[in-house]
Amino acid sequence: MEESNPSTTPEPLLRIDGSRLFTRWLEQERVSLIFTTYQASKIFFIGLKPDGSMSVFERTFDRCMGVAQRGRTLWLASRFQLWRFTDILETGQTHDGYDALYVPMTGHTTGDVDIHDIAILPDGRAVFVVTLFNCVATTGENDSFVPIWKPPFISRLVAEDRCHINGLALDQGRPRYVTMVSRTDVVEGWREHRVGGGVVMDMWNDEVICTGLSMPHSPRVHQGKVWLLNAGSGELGFVDPKSERFEPVAFCPGFLRGLSLVGNYAVVGMSKARENRSFNDLPFHARLEREKVAPRCGIQIVDLKSGAATHTLTVEGVVDELYDVVAVSNQTRPMALGFRSREIHHILKVADLNPDLMRA
């Protein structure tokens, strides 16, 4: 790892490798990748060094999950806070060889409410899924969070994770599509409906647009389609608006969470499933046995036209579960500041003098 992290205890073994042409794909598409793992409380930034080899940079944020990037803004969900980062580098500027430097400017305390997906509105505000309270929300100046929508079958907002709502997609800059594991209105009722109980809902009209899913995650609107990960079956696909069914495009060998779409490619997060009641007996286990492969942790690049798995980023060692992944356009080698080193004490961005604010 490239982060300077002074500690008397050595970091556990972690290995991140790209397939043979993975770095060439990053270069050709002019993207870098960001992914999170709540298991290790890390956010990773994957890019290219000047010599064309892979750059891996990490920072520590407690139980980080949903991440979203838009322009110079990045939002990250951690255990009980949302963090808003700003890239403080000007166009063409670099810092220690990095062309993006995300600094945590604002922390909003939400409480430990199990925030999953985040999306960024055109004005830079975050909207996010509050899984424990079964709703979609935004930040409030004097509130932990401000609910803006709940599924119509949820009778009240209580901390009971009734349907395990997890995914959120914008459409035309507005929150629209959500995924949830079931349509249940009792505490943790979703656990009994992990196979076949999942749905996609349209927030604009409270209608279900897709049923029969197994633990769906990460809906995204791209090229006129609603794409998502049918995590329990290990499949990437899209919603067919005519049949209201899920149309699989590719199988990825893992439990799938985290989806970013860039051009004609999908960037898919894969995890090794835990041995507990949430992951037992899911369809992808049988598929792995048929294919004679073990579940993998990492990122799979999938060609949307052919369904071919073209490139892979493999994560091995102490990390075997990812949550979210973002493909960032026009950034070659991003990094961020955290709180475990002293860099954040001295790297500043100061606005121009503005005496008009005294008269506001």
300-325: per-residue pLDDT in tens? 999 999 999 999 999 999 999 999 99
- Tell me which residue range forms the domain holding 303: 14-345
Q: Per the domain annotation, does 353 fall within a domain?
A: no
DSSP state of 53: P
Q: Per the domain annotation, does 272 fall within a domain?
A: yes
Residue 341 has pLDDT above 90, yes or no: no
- This prediction has a pTM of 0.93
Instruction: Please tell me the predicted confidence (pLDDT) of residue 310.
Output: 96
Q: Per the domain annotation, does 307 fall within a domain?
A: yes
Residue with tokens 């079964």: 134
Least confident of 39-43, 172-176, 229-233, 276-280: 276-280
For residue range 109-152, list pLDDT tens digits in order: 999 999 999 999 999 999 999 999 999 999 999 999 999 999 99
What is the rounded distance in angstroms from the CA atom of residue 110 to the CA atom of residue 220? 25
Instruction: Please tell me the predicted confidence (pLDDT) of residue 280.
Output: 72
Distance from chain centroid for Cα 326: 6
Tell me if 181 sits within 8 A of 198, measured CB to CB.
Answer: yes
Instruction: Please tell me the predicted confidence (pLDDT) of residue 248.
Output: 97
Residue 75 has pLDDT above 60, yes or no: yes
| Mean per-residue pLDDT, 167-187 | 98
Residue 227 has pLDDT above 60, yes or no: yes
Q: Per the domain annotation, does 351 fall within a domain?
A: no
Residue 279 has pLDDT above 80, yes or no: no
Q: Per the domain annotation, does 279 fall within a domain?
A: yes
Instruction: Please tell me the predicted confidence (pLDDT) of residue 7.
Output: 45
Instruction: Please tell me the predicted confidence (pLDDT) of residue 276.
Output: 62
Residue 6 has pLDDT above 50, yes or no: no
Q: Which of 21, 29, 98, 39 is nearest to 313 (CA)?
A: 21
Instruction: Please tell me the predicted confidence (pLDDT) of residue 240.
Output: 85
**Sign of the alpha-carbon dihedral angle for 350, 352, 356, 358:** positive
Instruction: Please tell me the predicted confidence (pLDDT) of residue 151.
Output: 98
| Mean per-residue pLDDT, 264-274 | 92
| Mean per-residue pLDDT, 95-113 | 97
Q: Per the domain annotation, does 6 fall within a domain?
A: no
Q: Per the domain annotation, does 76 fall within a domain?
A: yes
| Mean per-residue pLDDT, 34-54 | 97
> How many domains are contained in the chain?
1
The CATH number of residue 76's host domain is 2.120.10.30
Q: Which of 267, 333, 275 is nearest to 298 (CA)?
A: 267
Instruction: Please tell me the predicted confidence (pLDDT) of residue 172.
Output: 95
Q: Per the domain annotation, does 40 fall within a domain?
A: yes
Instruction: Please tell me the predicted confidence (pLDDT) of residue 273.
Output: 76
Annotate 96-159 with DSSP letters as a single string: TTBSEEEEEEEEEE--S--EEEEEE-TTS-EEEEETTTTEEEEEETTEEEEEEE--TT--S--S
Residue 275 has pLDDT above 90, yes or no: no
Residue 4 has pLDDT above 50, yes or no: no
Mean pLDDT of the chain: 94
Instruction: Please enumerate in sequence order all residues whose Cβ is within 8 A of that of 92, keeping only pairs 6 or more positions apart, or say none.
Output: none
